[in-house]
Structure 1
Amino acid sequence: MIEHGRLVLAVACLGLFMSFIEVTAAISTLRALQVDMQVPPADLSWVSSTYTLVVAACVLSGGALGERFGRRRVFVTGVVALAAGSLVVATASGFAQVLVGRAISGIGGALVLPTSLAIITTTFFVDLPRMLRYITIWVSMSGVGLAVGPLLGGALLDRFDWPAVYLVNTPIAVATVALALYAVKETKVPDRALDLGGQFLSVVGLGTLVYGIAVGGRAGYDDPVVVGSLVVAAVSLTALVLVERRAPVPMLDVRMMGSLRVSATLVVSASALFTFVGVIFLEVMFLQRVQATPPLETGLKLLPAMVAFVLSTLVAQRIATRVGPGRLLAAGSVVTGAAAVVLVGQQPDSAYGITALGLALLGLGSGLVVAPSTAAAFAVVQPAQMGSASNAVTAFRQVGSVLATAVLGSVLAVRFIGELPDRLAAAHVPQPVAAAVVEVARSGGNGSGRSSAAVTEAVGAAFNAGIGTGMWVVAGVSALAAVLSLAFLSRKEKGAGA
């Protein structure tokens, strides 16, 4: 019979897997969905963006709702919402229904992500080494979900139509709910205030921030709607800090974040998933749009990142006890930065060896950062603050993962559109044709379809330039994380919040 603690861990891991498989599995369906529903290219990105936007906007509320109404109850509700949203997409008769379904799944993801970790921390709080070991295993499931998404999506698309990809979470949800009701004890803080003001401001602030960044890459950052969204985000997030400082039971303990060491840990936590999710996102774009790799083969080519991430995560905790979380975070960040630099060297005709090396380094470095960032947070706060630190790390980590697709998608789009005219001119494409191609690109298209070899080559080269710029952004974020880790977290950690 499986030990009870491992069943609890399995529940948390299944929930996290469901949440992350939604990110990359959907990407594999975009072309088939576009053809089936005749979706304009400019609108197609919202299939993936809607889910991540809703998760980012609501993830802070998920932890607070779990404490107030019961972590198991909110977790189960989130699992059901994840599956229900996928069913809405799979049975969609129009594009609007697809987006509604993705939003429902996003609400589910926002509920599952913080409560799945809370289930581990509340169950094993009295056994800190075991709790940290289980958190390490839990975190590794994010890499599994991200890498398995394209692989599973490609395999299903080889045999079925695109709706089959969105049915994957249904049987997993049934098993997860049954296991949660059997193995997980309900825990809650019944008198916890809901902090409605903080929840409202976090939803508005994070939602408008991600929306403004994502749309700005296509419409331009001087677009009035984009400017308005970013202004609302800045005002809302500033107000959120002020409200949370005065709240008796804050949803996000910003007073704890007054410590430079705590703030550095949270930024590094966000950078960890920003880097991993961002590179996987860019690699899917490179393999499918630049090298025209089929979905199933794309998933297979991403396996070095998944395998390296899981293996690195599983050994990271042992290494952290010897060298300290801060130094480990710095080392991992350096490795992820090196991975991004390697992947900058990819070209449309590159051999797979460059891609495999970069992905393996990405998985290795990310595994040394993602899970140890939780241990680093615990090391720089007082014992009474561990619950707040856990919630904050989870929130920052997930916001980092969501910002990855928004920021890097925007960077890619800006560079692609800016580079395309010169690439077309260098390929001697006639001006009227070049102007038409650029117009399609500005409207959100990718330049694919029945085109001459010169146009296809120019579009691929411009798109690859955008991906390269995105990789340099990832390298910069990793470098920042390494500097913060060395400056604030590498000295001997004590349970102090100073």
Structure 2
Amino acid sequence: MTTTAESGAAPVIPHARLVLLAACLGLFMSFIEVTAAISTLRALQVDMGVAPADLSWVSSTYTLVVAACVLSGGALGERFGRRRVFLTGVVLLAAGSLVVATADGYPQVLLGRGVSGLGGALVLPTSLALITTTFFVDLPRMVRFIAVWVSVSGIGLAVGPLLGGLLLDVSGWRAVYVVNTPLAVVTVLVTLRAVTESRVPDRPLDLAGQFWAVLGLSTLVYGIAVGGREGYDDPWVVAVLAVAAVALTALVLTERRTAQPMLDVRMMRDGRYTAALCVAAASLFVFVGVIFVEVLFLQRVRGLGPLGTGVRLLPAMLAFVAATFTAQRLAGRVRPGRLLALGSLITTVAALVLLFQRPDGSYAVTALGLLLVGSGSGLVVAPSTNAAFEVVDGALMGQASSAVTAFRQVGSVLATSVLGAVLALRFLGTLPGSLDERGVAGPVADRVVAVARDGGAGTASVSPPPITGAVGDAFTSGVHGALWVVAGVACTAAVLAWALLATRRAE
């Protein structure tokens, strides 16, 4: 229960910090699944004899399920209880990880990743809802706590490879998937102690909207991911992406006609509101995308292990956290739209700096790029929620916060699939020429390209130097292609933020 100590005083909210802790723990569990899993791929491949072409689905299955179901997670929380759905998601995250940790075959690994993905889809929107529904009577504190909540996403992404590397060195890849079990126990206990249930009991489930969202988002992510390996002219990829286009169109049409939609697309008639959602999506697309690409670059090109990779990603994490709190302190003095424009511009510069990375280059370039991307992203992620609040009526703030959360998470999921596809296409496209430049031709070159096409680029480290160098150059070219996409997305976000959100709406 929320009370007011006296007129003009801030409301007294029991267990306020524990509510924040519960929400942040759930978010941390969700995001650590993204990059921690990447650190286990090589060890898992060797242990289970997984084909290189199938290995990417260990990480992609989680993000695919999250993308498909994240919109439904918020709607289910409103109908059945935000605390109940949040706790269900926490349990599923841990259960899925345990399924992977105890797996005796590749199918069980994918099953566990899918279960964890379903848990992440429930936790991501409801963890923010725990904050907004608890602190809506104290807007300044709500904004501060959202900033803390957002910073945890960066911590989870950056800590994932570091923690994964430590556990791999000490115990093996299975230990990485046990991490969420003790975290889940603590999260459940804190949630039961501090969080009160809240729901909208008469909220319709919007089953049609959920169906089209799941079908559209899952086929979109799947089509993008497979297209990066098979090519976008492959008939199966074309068919899957066509289904995605039809389903997402049907989602928009369905939500326009629904009295209480899961995603109110009618609010998006306001260009400023739509801009806030797009910038929110771009913010995590950029941050998650750069972390994802840099993990691959550091491990596959620089030949670092998971622990070394995690240590070298620390500049991004530390800068992200620092910039998030800086943005919170500036919230009352600088308009959210201006912070969004500045942060997006900084991340654009960060992506351009990272283009100077070379297989044998200095880590200083990587560190500077990571420092900039963390700083810029920290100035964007939290203020994007404030920017959406600024352009909607007070009664619509709940829907706006849910929409911003959904767009952020879809942006983070699309980052791995889109950038992975761009990287793969550029890598495979430049590898033959790179091999030729180093004097590798004929059947040997064909064999190297075939192995790389099946996803075995990481095996180049045990090959002769000419092949290792050619693969490193080609993979770096793929990384640069992905970073150009990041730069384009960030620059577009900066333009949108400055043009539509940096100034007040004319009355």
Q: Is the counterpart of residue 432 in structure 1 residue 448 in structure 2?
A: no
Q: Report the counterpart of residue 199 of structure 1 in structure 2.
A: 210
Instruction: List per-residue Cα deviations over 1:403-432 (Å, max 9, x = no partner).
Output: 000000000000000000000000001321
CA contact (8 A) 1:379 1:493 kept: no
Q: Could you tell me which amino acid in structure 1 is paired with residue 424 of structure 2? A: A
Q: Report the counterpart of residue 487 of structure 2 in structure 1.
A: 475
Q: TM-score, normalised by structure 1?
A: 0.98
Q: Distance in 2 between matches of 1:455 and 1:448?
A: 10
Q: Is the counterpart of residue 245 in structure 1 residue 267 in structure 2?
A: no
Q: Is the counterpart of residue 465 in structure 1 residue 485 in structure 2?
A: no
Q: 1:352: Cα distance to partner?
A: 1.0
CA contact (8 A) 2:14 2:194 kept: no
Instruction: List per-residue Cα deviations over 1:359-399 (Å, max 9, x = no partner).
Output: 00011000000000000000010111101100000000000
Q: Distance in 1 between matches of 2:225 and 2:235?
A: 14
Q: Distance in 2 between matches of 1:350 and 1:82?
A: 39
Q: 1:20 aligns with which of 6, 11, 31?
A: 31
Instruction: For structure 1, list consecutive stretches of 5 or more residues without a partner in the other structure.
Output: none
Q: Could you tell me which amino acid in structure 2 is paired with residue 359 of structure 1? A: L
Q: Is the counterpart of residue 166 in structure 1 residue 177 in structure 2?
A: yes
Percentage of identical aligned residues: 70
Matches within 5 A, 1:50-89: 50-89=61-100
Stretches (4+) displaced over 2 A: none
Matches within 5 A, 1:82-161: 82-161=93-172
Q: Could you tell me which amino acid in structure 1 is paired with residue 364 of structure 2? A: G
Q: Report the counterpart of residue 194 of structure 2 in structure 1.
A: 183
Matches within 5 A, 1:209-358: 209-358=220-369
Q: Distance in 2 between matches of 1:370 and 1:431?
A: 49
Instruction: List per-residue Cα deviations over 1:161-186 (Å, max 9, x = no partner).
Output: 10000000000000000110110000
Instruction: For structure 2, list consecutive stretches of 5 or more residues without a partner in the other structure.
Output: 1-12
Q: Report the counterpart of residue 417 of structure 2 in structure 1.
A: 406
Q: 1:307: Cα distance to partner?
A: 0.3
Q: 2:406 aligns with which of 373, 395, 403?
A: 395
Instruction: List per-residue Cα deviations over 1:201-259 (Å, max 9, x = no partner).
Output: 00000000000000000011011111111101000000000100111110001010111
CA contact (8 A) 2:426 2:477 kept: yes
Q: 1:268: Cα distance to partner?
A: 0.2
Q: 1:448: Cα distance to partner?
A: 1.6
Q: Distance in 1 between matches of 2:337 and 2:393?
A: 17
CA contact (8 A) 2:300 2:458 kept: no
Report the 3-state secondary structure (helix = DSSP H, G, I; strand = E; otherwise coil) of the residue aligned with 2:304. coil
Q: 1:493 to 1:379 in 2, by over 3 A?
A: farther
Q: Distance in 1 between matches of 2:323 and 2:505?
A: 22
Instruction: List per-residue Cα deviations over 1:250-306 (Å, max 9, x = no partner).
Output: 000101011100110000000000000000000000100000011101000000000
Q: Distance in 1 between matches of 2:127 and 2:311?
A: 28
Q: TM-score, normalised by structure 2?
A: 0.96
Q: 1:323: Cα distance to partner?
A: 1.9
Alignment: residue pair count: 494
Q: Is the counterpart of residue 43 in structure 1 residue 43 in structure 2?
A: no
Per mean C-alpha deviation after superposition, the further-off stretch among 220-229 and 193-202 is: 220-229
Q: Distance in 2 between matches of 1:287 and 1:397?
A: 26
